[in-house]
Amino acid sequence: MPTVRVGDLRIGDESPLVLIGGPCVIENETHALSMGGAIATVARRLGVPYIFKASFDKANRTSIHSFRGPGIEDGLATLTRVKEAHGVPILTDVHDAGQVSAVAEVADVLQIPAFLSRQTDLIVAAAESGRVVNIKKGQFMA
């Protein structure tokens, strides 16, 4: 596997395992800052490279009434504060090609959710952003 750089981190065969973690969705800024700080502290103490992951919108909920997140504007502002406060790279989902530019200004890694893993325009836009792209594999794919 080739080496991929995410900020100062290296991801690849000759590099240490990188922890990607955080809340599934941004509940609020206080929670995101607390979670990001707690995980970053433990990761640094253990010498484990860490990328903070949280989504600003979880569009694939099982119920239309479920909490989806703060939305792109407030969500990206929160992710920026987590990045600045804790000095960690950020990974978040993108759901359509129109979001890529704004998300790429904040996130170090753009993630394509599994349900969108066959959306060519979204994948091309993410790839053209210059950011690292993580495409989650849909369970429906072989």
What is the residue extent of each domain of the chain?
4-135
**Fold exhibited by the domain 4-135:** TIM Barrel (3.20.20)
Q: What was the pLDDT predicted at 92?
A: 98
pTM, to two decimals: 0.92
Residuewise pLDDT in 10s, the chain (142 residues): 788 999 889 998 888 899 999 999 999 999 999 999 999 999 999 999 999 999 999 877 778 888 899 999 999 999 999 999 999 999 999 999 999 999 999 999 999 999 899 999 999 999 999 999 999 987 766 5
Buried/exposed 52-67: b ≥16 CB within 10 Å, e otherwise: bbbbbbbeeeeeeeee
Q: What was the pLDDT predicted at 141?
A: 62
In sequence order, the 6+-apart residues with CB closer than 8 A to the CB of 8 are none
Q: What was the pLDDT predicted at 46?
A: 97
